[in-house]
Amino acid sequence: MVSTLLLFVNRLPEEAREEECDKDMRKLVYLLGLLFFMACGEDAKEGIIPEPDVPYDYSEFGGYHVKDTVGYDMATLEFYSSNDTAWIYAIKGQKVWFGMFNDNTKEQITEWKASSSEESDYTSSFLGNPFKVGDKYVCFMKIAPELYKPFLLKEESAISLKEREASWGSENFFSVREFGENILVYHPHFYGNLLYSSEGVEVINSVAFQDDPESDNEYLSGFKNDKVWFGIYENGELREEYTGENVYDRNIKINKGYGEYEEYFVKALSFGYSSGLLKTEWGYVFYPTIKDSESGGYIHDMFFCNGGKMFPVFVGTYYLDIRNWYDGSVLMGNKVVFSPEGKRLIEFEDNDLGDDRMLSVFCKEPSSYTHIIRLMHARMWADYTVVTIDKYDLESKNSLWSVNVDALGECAVNSKFVAKVLGKDKNIWTMEVSVISFEGQEKISNFKLNTDTGEIIYL
């Protein structure tokens, strides 16, 4: 480098060298000195052997390689591991923090942090393994005796959900399920179940749900914006939903009789698949139990869910028997007929729908609002019986006509009797009756029945 600069100077014209010599000599000397210093400095650096980095001691984090070790309140650290995955909870920067780690390599997989410090004023411990819902997790932390705080872990955020109570020994019954884009945090033995959006926003409160054992349907009830809500899900996706038009007053009075009333707050709209829900040709009748008692579950209202609308009907009873009836109507308590919109069509005296002390009725099919077609056989006091059909008037409680199914002949009274209505064309019904003896022998009769006259035409 220095020799190159000297050669350049020597090649300058002689006059230029003389004129510029004094001026540039000092600059040249300075430049040469600077270059010499830089060259020596590089050589010196090449001769230095760097000392090895001291590995970070992760023992205070249980040996897990936390990516950012600054800002933790070490007294709040809680650990949980299961199935090769480890979880750490802590307060970091005065905010709730969760980390997920590979339990074998100890490397951090991901982390979540709360957006505010409002949830950091208590000590917590893991209730159990977090629930995985899609690409999210819900983690329950025990924050006090019989009090638990769920967190929704989504992307990089730890979203605080509503605290839940559970008595000692029942805390492990918490469950989390996806319903469409929503998340249900549920406990089967306590009220206060909530359906959240994927962002952790409460959508439905006081949720009750029931699986349909005969299909892939699931039914949910609750309150949405203080209105009664009922939803039908199929394979986890919302298929239908119904919401009441008016705010539902959850402070009710229950008539206990003798002029006494009990004030009660409706905590949930509980129901079962076989009781509390009736499928119809136009929708559903939803009649939830709101309070259990020695007399049975108290039912305050029925809700007719039809065409996207919900029609409430007050009933106020401890027992409710409803069934599909004539022309899309619903029969309640064997005496009141309602339209698909919940309007009373007709009411008659309470009766047993034509049950007979002497005869066993094995089929009751309405042919009008007040008439039923009954199929009967003798009870066990006889050895043999015949199958009889009649038309029964529920208002007068009289049989209008009666006819035997002669094609079946005499049957052992302990046989199994089954009747099916295969089709209806106004007053002409196509029917099938089968009788299976205790020994397994079967007799079947197919026929057309005129429901006005009782005439039978065998097929």
User: What is the DSSP code string of 241-280?
Assistant: EEE-SS----EEEEEEETTEEEEEE----B--SSSSEEE-
Taking only the tens place, the pLDDT of each residue in 54-83 is 678 899 999 999 999 999 999 999 999 988
Instruction: Decide which of 167, 192, 224 is a domain's last residue.
Output: 167
Would 236 be classed as within a structural domain? yes
pLDDT of residue 378: 87
Taking only the tens place, the pLDDT of each residue in 428-454 is 999 999 999 999 999 999 999 999 999
**Which is it for the CA torsion 57, 59, 60, 61, positive or negative?**
positive
Q: What is the mean pLDDT of residues 183-203?
A: 94
Same domain membership, residue 216 and residue 154: no
pLDDT of residue 100: 97
Instruction: Decide which of 167, 185, 213 is a domain's last residue.
Output: 167
Residue 9 has pLDDT above 90, yes or no: no
Same domain membership, residue 376 and residue 323: no
Q: How far is CA 28 from the centre of its chain?
A: 84
Q: What is the mean pLDDT of residues 255-271?
A: 91
Q: Are 247 and 226 in contact (CB under 8 A)?
A: yes
Residue 177 has pLDDT above 50, yes or no: yes
pLDDT of residue 357: 72
pLDDT of residue 318: 85
pLDDT of residue 63: 95
Same domain membership, residue 364 and residue 340: no
Domain that holds residue 301: 172-352
Residue 191 has pLDDT above 90, yes or no: no
pLDDT of residue 16: 46
pLDDT grade for 1, boundaries at 50, 70 and 90 = very low
Taking only the tens place, the pLDDT of each residue in 130-174 is 999 999 999 999 999 999 999 999 999 999 999 999 998 898 999
Distance CA 350, CA 367 (A): 19
Same domain membership, residue 100 and residue 231: no
pLDDT grade for 321, boundaries at 50, 70 and 90 = confident
The set of residues, in sequence order, having a beta carbon less than 8 Å from that of 18 and lying 6+ positions away, is none
Would 384 be classed as within a structural domain? yes
pLDDT of residue 36: 52
Mode of pairing for the β-strands spanning 194-196 and 182-186: antiparallel
pLDDT of residue 44: 47
Instruction: Decide which of 140, 167, 194 is a domain's last residue.
Output: 167
Would 25 be classed as within a structural domain? no
Distance CA 426, CA 326 (A): 12
Number of domains in the chain: 3
Same domain membership, residue 154 and residue 110: yes
Same domain membership, residue 243 and residue 211: yes
Same domain membership, residue 339 and residue 366: no
Would 409 be classed as within a structural domain? yes
What is 193-242 written as a DSSP string? Answer: -EEE-TTS-EEEEEEEEEE-TTSSEEEEEEEETTEEEEEEEETTEEEEEE
pLDDT grade for 257, boundaries at 50, 70 and 90 = confident
Residue 390 has pLDDT above 90, yes or no: yes
Distance CA 373, CA 384 (A): 23
pLDDT grade for 119, boundaries at 50, 70 and 90 = low
Distance CA 331, CA 353 (A): 11
Same domain membership, residue 335 and residue 237: yes
Same domain membership, residue 299 and residue 434: no
pLDDT grade for 7, boundaries at 50, 70 and 90 = very low
Same domain membership, residue 253 and residue 112: no
Same domain membership, residue 342 and residue 211: yes
- Indicate the pTM of the whole model: 0.80
Residue 300 CA: distances (Å) to CA of 291, 310, 315, 322 = 9, 15, 6, 14
**Which is it for the CA torsion 90, 91, 93, 99, positive or negative?**
positive
Same domain membership, residue 362 and residue 341: no
Q: Which residue has the tokens 């006059």?
A: 15
Taking only the tens place, the pLDDT of each residue in 12-45 is 455 444 555 455 555 655 555 555 555 555 544 4
